[in-house]
Chains A and B, each alone.
Chain A
Amino acid sequence: MSRLASGGRIDRTRPIQFSFNGTPYRGYEGDNLASALLANDVRVVANSVTYGRPRGVFSAGVEEPNALVQVGNDTMLRATQVGLVDGLEAIGLNGRGRLSLEPDGHRYDKVYAHCEVLVIGGGRAGITAALEAGQTGDRVILVDEQAEFGGRLLGAGWNDWLETSLGALRSPPDVRLLTRATAFGHYDQNLVLIAQRLPNGGRLWQARAKRVVLATGAHERPLIFANNDRPGIMLAGAARAYVNRYGVAPGKRAVIFTNNDSTDALAGDLKRAGISVEAIVDVRAGEAVLDTFPSPAGGGGQGGGLGGVTIAPLTGGGSRREVECDLLCVSGGFNPTLHLFSQAQGRLRYDQALACFVPDAAPPNVEVVGAAAGDLGGRGQGTIMPYWVVPSDGQDWSTHFVDLERDVTVADVRRALSTGMRSVEHVKRFTTIGTGSDQGKTAGINETAIIATQLGQPVGAVGVTTFRPPYVPVSFGLMAGRNRGDLFEPIRLTAMHPWHVAHGAVFENVGQWKRPWYFPRHDEDIETAVLRECRAAREGVAVMDASTLGKIDIQGPDAVEFLNRMYTNAFDTLKIGSCRYGLMCKVDGMVFDDGVVMHLGPDHWLATTTTGGAAAVLEWMEEWLQTEWTDLRVRLTSVTDHWADVAVVGPRSRDVVRGLFPKLPLDPESFPFMAIRESETAGIPVRLHRITFSGELAYELWTQSWYGLALWEAVMAAGEPFAITPYGTEAMHVLRAEKGYIICGQETDGTVTPQDLGMSWILSKKKAFIGRRSHRRRDTARPDRKQLVGLLPVERDQLLPEGAQLVVEPDGTIPTKMIGHVTSSYRSATLDRTFALAMLQSGRERLGAMVYAPLNGHVVSATVTEPIFYDKENVRRDS
């Protein structure tokens, strides 16, 4: 045991049992996993990622590159960041964590916070800043990544000051104190994301602050020398923290290797803890640690741990000496922690005297204080002799580790430079320095210095790589918060949803909507069910819930003019009580959306959109009204959810509707195709439309959505004598495709014109509309554009996959020119065969020709046809 008999901020009356790699150990309240492992003489914690070299605890904080562990489903944690709790089971990693296939059982929440002042970092500077801000009555949030406030002070004998200051911070009403809370992202206008660790999960704080005070301190950096990665080698400040804060002796015999004054206090602290100081090697005195050697293997199972160091004069030559030790405390100076500052677009400059990058121009409303601002007095850096790498004999750089987590050495950096790379960003990507889960917190500036030295440039001219969020690894679970599983996204249900569920519908997601996909009977598969549903619609009567159609209410004296400009076809002749199919293009002439436009009354219209396009169409219309056509007096309202829509479809649909509305004349003369009627059934007000998306005689019955379920049930009851059959979106797709009706977003993809679809008939020649000018562009009028065609596979049973590419050579020659693709493909009950729609180059010139779809291992041949397979004369539709 290396636990000191007294001292530290641990509670020796509260022991904690934990295990590491299956071996049980004991620690104390106040320990983290790293301090507890050191107290139990566990020196090798993990093996490095590339070379499998043994690695031990290197730091005492977030910058830890070596001591990576897995705890339960948390695949890659720093032992220095894992608070010790009873029963903790940790294992050391062999370079990589293993992703768990179990769902993340933690509970995560999000908090949105607003404050005048957000202080990040609860060391001396941060606490002072928070105290000051708290006096004014402002809302203040102080966050610190550690389990308690104090930062460096916790291991430096400042306990009284801490107690007084933290007590004072608890009195103002609007000061909020968060520990175990790491600010990991600093975005525009002071949005700061904070990950707070809680016993069984965490909280993601999204704080918006008027002013951010960065009191993020400084990270000590190591000096680099041969075999600088052995367990027992650690940052000098970390050794001090383990002794003073955790009451742990991280070794018995120590050597200190430094280039600055910060290690002055360390020697005394080590001696008081009973650790002998065998040598103090100071580059300022002309000496350096040249190399290290391992302890004899087998000694307590600590093979590979530090056994001693070789010390040599900096000038080379001279006398060398070997000193045995099991702890090497290294300090190469300090790097102000400016990750967040840089994320927020703050600029850095290199300070020659301090030998580090310091804040230069701060972003608005961001202030940097304390060590982060370059005030390294608290760290005791004092005089520093900038020094980075101790060269070894024979130019061997292969064990001079720059990035310990990534196992990158000086040799790798030199190789990058020898290939001609000069930018620190390129060297980073070539070597992977700084791309580990520690993001190179102890490596980055050393990398810059090595490049600068090699290229003979000033360190400041080489600069640092871009700092990007997150500052520490953040789990996806935390990002998602409660928005997972059923709460991933809002779910939209129609008024008839309970009926669909009760009748065994299989649902599909259409945007946020749950829509019945098909209604299987007994053990039917989708294919059988859809064929049956289609047959019912073609031969008898079927019914579909069409409530999800987008609906936009359009009112105002200029509504007609507005519609004329939005849609390719004209609406001035459409009478009240009638509707018309309309098509919309974008400015580039490409088809955007379609739907039915209904003329409801004077200056009152309603437009339906595709289910998925509702929001986009409303936004599109609003954009034109608000930014271009500000003189038009038109108001738009989304009424999608206001209406329930029951589509009664098929040759027997008139019989069903007659049962519901016995007094309403339904003959084709009184209620023709595309007419609208108002009526009611069983007290339910209903607006009836003769619209069809199947090509059959059909009625769409609309009612206020709260009547939706009642209307649906009334339709089912009235349809029972006619064996009315509910159908879902799959059958709807088949029926419309048989009829050659497009679906925007399926046949079209933003590169398809109405002409390409064979819909020139819908382009008014008498008025301007959005996209019209583009139809005259040379490219848009090209004859070899992809055009909508039908396809009939030669084998009647062969189903073309949607998305299949089409070619003209049947033999699968490679390379071959792709001349089109399948957009829709189904089995048809009506045709008793498969069929497809496709977009095909010069498609209309290829009618009757063969095209081929080379698939994985076989080729499907198909004949090109007109894109309509059923009732070309619209006899059924108009009946």
Chain B
Amino acid sequence: MLIPCPWCGDREDIEFKYGGSADVAYPRDADAVDDATWARFVFFRPNPKGQMTERWVHTAGCRRWFTLVRDTVTHQITTA
């Protein structure tokens, strides 16, 4: 898979690490949420068949994190 790093351009996927869904926001006030809400944030992640917004980091390159949209069926990538 070729992954478009916004800083370096297209690079092989082995240069990157996967950061999971980009759609899970860190709760603004972690102490204020109840156990169930907190558990959803910590343990639950979307796993769609199709478009998914993801975080990647170019570990073997510029070390920058970025967000992209990947189709989990075709691996076609569109920048977020």
CB pair A774 B38 closer than 8 Å: yes
Shortest distance in angstroms between A286's beta carbon and chain B's nearest beta carbon? 48
Stretch at the interface among A540-548, A618-626, A860-868: A618-626
With a cutoff of 8 Å between Cβ atoms, the chain B residues found around residue A189 in the complex are: 1-2, 75
CB pair B30 A768 closer than 8 Å: yes
B30, B43, B55, B76 pick with most chain A CB within 10 angstroms: B30
With a cutoff of 8 Å between Cβ atoms, the chain A residues found around residue B26 in the complex are: 628
> Are A622 and B63 CB-contacts (below 8 A) given A187-B1, A627-B55, A773-B31?
yes
Interface residues of B in 40-80 (CB under 8 A from A): 41-43, 55, 57, 59, 63-65, 74-76
Interface residues of A in 742-794 (CB under 8 A from B): 768, 772-774, 776-778
Q: Give B43's nearest chain A residue, CB to CB.
A: A588
Q: How far is the CA of A619 from the CA of B27 in the complex (A)?
A: 21
Q: Give B30's nearest chain A residue, CB to CB.
A: A773
Q: Interface residues of A: mostly helix, strand, loop or mixed?
A: mixed
Q: How far is the CA of A191 from the CA of B19 in the complex (A)?
A: 23
CB < 8 Å: which of A191, A364, A628, A776 contacts B76? A364
CB < 8 Å: which of B33, B65, B75 contacts A627? B65
CB pair A587 B42 closer than 8 Å: yes
Q: Give A345's nearest chain B residue, CB to CB.
A: B74
Interface string of B1-42 (1 = CB under 8 A from A): 110000000001000010100000011001101010011011
Q: Give B59's nearest chain A residue, CB to CB.
A: A619
B39, B63, B65, B75 pick with most chain A CB within 10 angstroms: B65
With a cutoff of 8 Å between Cβ atoms, the chain A residues found around residue B17 in the complex are: 619
CB pair A188 B30 closer than 8 Å: no
Q: Give A777's nearest chain B residue, CB to CB.
A: B35
Q: Give A778's nearest chain B residue, CB to CB.
A: B35
Q: Interface residues of B: mostly helix, strand, loop or mixed?
A: mixed
CB pair B1 A622 closer than 8 Å: no
Q: How far is the CA of A191 from the CA of B10 in the complex (A)?
A: 13
CB pair A622 B65 closer than 8 Å: yes
CB pair A622 B30 closer than 8 Å: no
Interface string of A188-211 (1 = CB under 8 A from B): 110100000000000000001000
Shortest distance in angstroms between B61's beta carbon and chain A's nearest beta carbon? 13
Q: How far is the CA of A768 from the CA of B1 in the complex (A)?
A: 39
With a cutoff of 8 Å between Cβ atoms, the chain A residues found around residue B55 in the complex are: 623, 627
With a cutoff of 8 Å between Cβ atoms, the chain B residues found around residue A628 in the complex are: 26
Q: How far is the CA of A774 from the CA of B30 in the complex (A)?
A: 9
CB pair A626 B64 closer than 8 Å: yes
> Are A773 and B65 CB-contacts (below 8 A) given A188-B75, A189-B2, A768-B31?
no
Q: How far is the CA of A173 from the CA of B75 in the complex (A)?
A: 34
Q: How far is the CA of A74 from the CA of B53 in the complex (A)?
A: 46
CB pair A774 B74 closer than 8 Å: no
Q: Give B33's nearest chain A residue, CB to CB.
A: A773
> Are A622 and B42 CB-contacts (below 8 A) given A189-B75, A778-B35?
no
CB pair B39 A777 closer than 8 Å: yes
Q: How far is the CA of A622 from the CA of B58 in the complex (A)?
A: 11
Q: How far is the CA of A628 from the CA of B55 in the complex (A)?
A: 12
Q: How far is the CA of A628 from the CA of B35 in the complex (A)?
A: 22
With a cutoff of 8 Å between Cβ atoms, the chain B residues found around residue A774 in the complex are: 38, 42
Shortest distance in angstroms between B21's beta carbon and chain A's nearest beta carbon? 12
Shortest distance in angstroms between A490's beta carbon and chain B's nearest beta carbon? 12
Q: How far is the CA of A188 from the CA of B38 in the complex (A)?
A: 37
Shortest distance in angstroms between A240's beta carbon and chain B's nearest beta carbon? 41
Q: How far is the CA of A340 from the CA of B58 in the complex (A)?
A: 29
CB pair A622 B31 closer than 8 Å: no
CB pair A773 B38 closer than 8 Å: yes
Q: How far is the CA of A363 from the CA of B55 in the complex (A)?
A: 25
With a cutoff of 8 Å between Cβ atoms, the chain B residues found around residue A622 in the complex are: 57, 63, 65
Q: How far is the CA of A278 from the CA of B12 in the complex (A)?
A: 59
Q: Give A208's nearest chain B residue, CB to CB.
A: B2
Shortest distance in angstroms between B64's beta carbon and chain A's nearest beta carbon? 7
Q: Give A625's nearest chain B residue, CB to CB.
A: B65
CB pair A588 B65 closer than 8 Å: no
CB pair B38 A777 closer than 8 Å: yes
Q: How far is the CA of A774 from the CA of B26 in the complex (A)?
A: 13
Q: Give A363's nearest chain B residue, CB to CB.
A: B74
Shortest distance in angstroms between A363's beta carbon and chain B's nearest beta carbon? 8
With a cutoff of 8 Å between Cβ atoms, the chain B residues found around residue A777 in the complex are: 35, 38-39
> Are A623 and B65 CB-contacts (below 8 A) given A189-B75, A768-B31, A773-B31?
yes
CB pair B38 A623 closer than 8 Å: no
Shortest distance in angstroms between A185's beta carbon and chain B's nearest beta carbon? 13
Interface string of A330-361 (1 = CB under 8 A from B): 00000000000000010000000000000000
> Are A619 and B75 CB-contacts (below 8 A) given A628-B26, A772-B30, A777-B35?
no
Q: How far is the CA of A794 from the CA of B76 in the complex (A)?
A: 62
Q: How far is the CA of A208 from the CA of B75 in the complex (A)?
A: 16
Shortest distance in angstroms between B17's beta carbon and chain A's nearest beta carbon? 7
Shortest distance in angstroms between A609's beta carbon and chain B's nearest beta carbon? 16
With a cutoff of 8 Å between Cβ atoms, the chain B residues found around residue A772 in the complex are: 30-31
Q: How far is the CA of A587 from the CA of B43 in the complex (A)?
A: 10
With a cutoff of 8 Å between Cβ atoms, the chain B residues found around residue A778 in the complex are: 35
Q: Give B63's nearest chain A residue, CB to CB.
A: A622
With a cutoff of 8 Å between Cβ atoms, the chain B residues found around residue A188 in the complex are: 1-2, 75
Interface string of A174-189 (1 = CB under 8 A from B): 0000000000000111
Interface string of A558-594 (1 = CB under 8 A from B): 0000000000000000000000000000011000000
CB < 8 Å: which of A208, A587, A623, A768 contacts B19? A623
Q: How far is the CA of A363 from the CA of B73 in the complex (A)?
A: 12
Shortest distance in angstroms between A375's beta carbon and chain B's nearest beta carbon? 27
Interface string of A605-633 (1 = CB under 8 A from B): 00000000001000100110011100000
Q: Give B3's nearest chain A residue, CB to CB.
A: A189
With a cutoff of 8 Å between Cβ atoms, the chain B residues found around residue A615 in the complex are: 59
CB pair B57 A623 closer than 8 Å: yes
Q: Give B10's nearest chain A residue, CB to CB.
A: A189
With a cutoff of 8 Å between Cβ atoms, the chain A residues found around residue B63 in the complex are: 622
Q: How far is the CA of A484 from the CA of B57 in the complex (A)?
A: 28
Q: How far is the CA of A623 from the CA of B24 in the complex (A)?
A: 14
Q: How far is the CA of A406 from the CA of B54 in the complex (A)?
A: 44
Query: Which 4 pairs between the two chains have the least Cβ-Cβ distance?
Result: A773-B30, A626-B65, A188-B75, A188-B1
22 interchain pairs, CB-CB under 8 A? A187-B1, A188-B1, A189-B75, A208-B2, A363-B74, A587-B42, A615-B59, A623-B19, A623-B57, A623-B65, A626-B57, A626-B64, A627-B55, A627-B65, A772-B31, A773-B27, A773-B31, A774-B38, A774-B42, A776-B35, A777-B35, A777-B39
A residues near B (Cβ < 8 Å) are 187-189, 191, 208, 345, 363-364, 587-588, 615, 619, 622-623, 626-628, 768, 772-774, 776-778
With A623-B19, A626-B57 known, 18 other A-B pairs at CB within 8 A are A188-B1, A189-B1, A191-B1, A191-B12, A208-B2, A345-B74, A587-B42, A619-B17, A622-B65, A623-B57, A626-B64, A768-B30, A772-B30, A773-B33, A773-B38, A777-B35, A777-B39, A778-B35
